[in-house]
Amino acid sequence: NAGVTQTPKFQVLKTGQSMTLQCAQDMNHNSMYWYRQDPGMGLRLIYYSASEGTTDKGEVPNGYNVSRLNKREFSLRLESAAPSQTSVYFCASNPGPYNSPLHFGNGTRLTVT
Amino acid sequence: AQSVSQHNHHVILSEAASLELGCNYSYGGTVNLFWYVQYPGQHLQLLLKYFSGDPLVKGIKGFEAEFIKSKFSFNLRKPSVQWSDTAEYFCAVSREYGNKLVFGAGTILRVKS
């Protein structure tokens, strides 16, 4: 029972490069989320998908795009990476649509040089 | 917009000391409240949650939290901490029928053995 799986675990990019962070959950959850975690700032919501086929912006969406590929998968894309996007990225899911506690993946540590 | 404030960024305690971590939120409507914990090198895990009913909620590992509506607070407590409680603790709030969870900046707890 894997829960929420994120790939890769670590990534180093140069400014301007692009990449996609992958997330998959095997709990048949409706809602999925992408957060970034920065020291002293807690977790900030980038984008979320309340259900398959929908996506919405969170607190800090600039510089990111998302795709809810199917019910299981929710990817986060950085089209042109910037040093300000150096962070730890967490994917999470919950049964939805409201209030259910989040289940988190193990995170992706991204460094942009 | 909602915001969540955690009063202390770093707390250092000796084993067996009592713990209280403060959390205040700014939203005036009905809310759902959570405390998450992140042990070193791990992802966030749910400690406890409050949706309605008894404002004193008990979670895992001996933690409890009290919701005081008049003070917009949801403080986390533990009577006697252990070295294994060393972790970062996050308070989070969502609206009653909301999809988005807003996190506080986190409190890093270090317990000295």
Whole-angstrom Cα distance, residue A89 to residue A53? 22
Residue A13 has pLDDT above 70, yes or no: yes
Residue A9 has pLDDT above 70, yes or no: yes
Residue A1 has pLDDT above 70, yes or no: no
Whole-angstrom Cα distance, residue B22 to residue A38? 20
Confidence of residue A91 (pLDDT cuts 50, 70, 90): very high
Say what percent of chain A tops pLDDT 70: 96
Whether residues B43 and A99 touch (CB distance < 8 A) is answered with no
Q: What pLDDT sits at residue A40?
A: 85
Contact A55/A37 with Cβ under 8 angstroms? no
Residue B97: list chain A partners with CB under 8 A.
98-99
Beta bridge partners of A4: A25
For residue A66 the two structure tokens come to 């998302």
pLDDT tens, residue order, chain B (113 aa): 668 999 889 999 999 999 999 999 998 888 899 999 999 988 899 999 999 899 999 999 999 999 999 999 999 999 999 999 999 999 999 887 777 888 999 999 999 98
Q: Between A and B, how many CB-CB pairs are < 8 A? A: 58
Whether residues B43 and A102 touch (CB distance < 8 A) is answered with no
DSSP states along B26-41: ---S-EEEEEEEE-TT
Q: What pLDDT sits at residue B91?
A: 96
Q: What pLDDT sits at residue A97?
A: 63
For residues A8-28, give the mean pLDDT.
97
Which of B43, B57, B93 to probe by mutation at the A interface, max A CB count within 10 Å?
B43
